[in-house]
């Protein structure tokens, strides 16, 4: 089967009834950035900047960060690269910046940390903007947003970085800026957020964790953690409809997007851009090429009528058995 899928990897991700999807990749450390990957994707939907930070011995300086970011942006140019600002805290600790808390996933995490340390955010954003000079394929994504004030504060800092670089004689353009939709509160503030930013990126991993109140890494409750919980699917569906109504480009970059059944459900909801780990690409592409958009919307409709995660899983397995 995988040999079969390999053969398809250069074919477009289009359904039999001609509905086109954009597949992007999630990166952190070096991935296969060869020309072959580039021709098969729409860009990088999520570059997790905390990953390279985890293997250094201290916060990398502006010059060092600029080199890392330049390498990513250059490898994928002219395709867009969505760089997320540092998302530490929760399960991701830097050895040189330990955070000890009783409830790390509800604590000092993502944008909360970097707004408390604006110098960290400023260095990072300056490095990104400098790295993008002449390429202009940078987009900046803000993680763990739970409040519009965080967005306003971050935008102020990004604007300040742009002004500073301008004063230093560099010609930097303003990148597109987006917010991660991963804290349930943001689902109810999409309109307010849409007035502030250019795009949304749905973090289905954290959205699942926070909607279900299940620690995504705790084996004791692992069975309760399921992005196919009907409540999560309904939230995602409403989000797809609402972001379309608002005209905000919205992609999904959590694990659900890299799961063929999940990808079909997301397609049925109306999401057109999915970002996933490189190894998931061929299976998701194959699913899209085999299942019509019409069938995906029907699958979604059937699924949304079910009451429990288990029923959803069983139903998906049954319906998709043919090509899985
Ligand atoms: C997510 O939460 O779904 C996501 C993509 O971000 P991370 O897994 O890095 O928290
Ligand atoms: Mg997340």
**Given this model, what pLDDT does residue 32 score?**
65
Mean pLDDT by 10 residues, the chain (324 residues): 73 96 91 78 97 94 97 96 97 93 96 98 98 96 98 98 97 96 98 98 98 96 97 98 98 97 98 96 96 97 98 95 64
Q: Read off the tokens for 89.
A: 């805290």
- Other Cβ atoms closer than 10 A to 96: 11
CA of 294 to the centre of ligand 2 (A): 30
Secondary structure (DSSP) of 191-207: HHHHTT-SEEEE-HHHH
Q: Which of 89, 92, 180 to mutate to test the pocket of ligand 1 (most atoms within 8 A of CB)?
A: 180
- C-alpha closest to that of 181 among 141, 214, 139: 141
What number does the ligand 1 atom closest to the CA of 87 have? Answer: 9
Which is nearest to 260 in space by CA: 224, 222, 221, 299?
299
CA distance 46 to 56: 20
DSSP H helical ranges for the chain: 2-7, 35-38, 50-54, 62-76, 111-116, 118-131, 148-167, 184-187, 190-194, 204-212, 230-246, 260-269, 281-290, 293-304, 309-320
Task: Check if 283 has its Cβ closer than 6 Å to any atom of ligand 1.
Answer: no
CB of 50 closer than 6 angstroms to any ligand 1 atom:
no
Give pLDDT, residue 322. 65
Q: How far apart are CA 17 and CA 15, in angstroms?
A: 5
Closest ligand 1 atom to Cα of 206: 2
Residue 9 has what pLDDT? 82
Residue 295 CA to its chain's centroid (Å) = 26
Neighbours of ion ligand 2 (CB under 5 A): 182, 203, 206
Question: What distance in angstroms lies between residue 113's CA and the mean position of ligand 2's atoms?
Answer: 14
Q: Ligand 1, atom 3: nearest CA belongs to which residue?
A: 203
Of residues 281, 270, 264, the one with CA closest to residue 238: 270
Q: What's the start-to-end Cα distance of the chain, in Å?
A: 9
- In this prediction the pTM is 0.96
pLDDT at 2: 67
ipTM of the complex: 0.99
Ligand 1 geometric centre to CA of 15 (Å): 27
125 C-beta closer than 6 A to ligand 1: no
**Residue 92 CA: which ligand is closest?**
1
At 142 the pLDDT is: 99
For ligand 1, what atom is nearest to the CA of residue 204?
3
Ligand 1: does its nearest atom lie under 6 Å from the Cβ of 13? no
Please choose from 144, 254, 257, 274 the residue to mutate so as to test ligand 1's pocket, defined by most ligand atoms within 8 A of CB: 254
pLDDT for the residue numbered 50: 96
What is the per-residue pLDDT for 10?
86
- Ligand 2 centroid from CA 225, angstroms: 14
């Amino acid at each position: 089967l995988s040999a079969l899928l390999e053969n398809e990897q250069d074919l477009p991700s289009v359904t039999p009834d001609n509905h086109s999807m954009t597949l992007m990749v999630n990166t952190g450390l070096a991935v296969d950035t060869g020309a072959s990957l580039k021709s098969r994707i729409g860009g990088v939907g999520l570059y997790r900047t905390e990953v390279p930070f985890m293997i250094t011995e201290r916060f990398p300086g502006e010059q060092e960060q600029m080199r890392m970011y330049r390498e990513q942006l250059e490898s994928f140019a002219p395709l867009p690269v969505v760089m997320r600002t540092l998302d530490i805290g929760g399960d991701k600790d830097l050895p040189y910046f330990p955070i000890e808390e009783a409830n790390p996933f509800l604590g000092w995490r993502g944008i909360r940390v970097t707004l408390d340390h604006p110098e960290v955010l400023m260095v990072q954003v300056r490095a990104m903007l400098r790295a993008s000079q002449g390429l202009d394929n940078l987009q900046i994504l803000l993680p763990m947003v739970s409040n519009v004030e965080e967005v306003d504060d971050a935008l102020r800092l990004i604007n300040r970085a742009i002004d500073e670089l301008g004063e230093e004689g560099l010609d930097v353009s303003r990148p597109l800026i987006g917010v991660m939709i991963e804290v349930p509160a943001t689902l109810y503030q999409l309109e307010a957020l849409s007035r502030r930013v250019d795009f949304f990126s749905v973090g289905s991993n954290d959205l699942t964790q926070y909607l279900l109140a299940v620690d995504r890494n705790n084996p004791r409750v692992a069975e309760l953690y399921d992005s196919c919980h009907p409540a999560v699917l309904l939230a995602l569906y409403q989000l797809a409809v609402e972001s379309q109504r608002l005209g905000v480009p919205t992609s999904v970059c959590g694990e659900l997007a890299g799961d063929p059944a999940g990808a079909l459900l997301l397609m049925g909801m109306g999401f057109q851009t999915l970002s996933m780990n490189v190894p998931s690409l061929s299976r998701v592409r194959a699913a899209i090429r085999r299942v019509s958009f019409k069938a995906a919307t029907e699958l979604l409709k059937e699924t949304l009528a079910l009451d429990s995660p288990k029923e959803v899983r069983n139903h998906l397995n049954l319906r998709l058995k043919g090509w899985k």
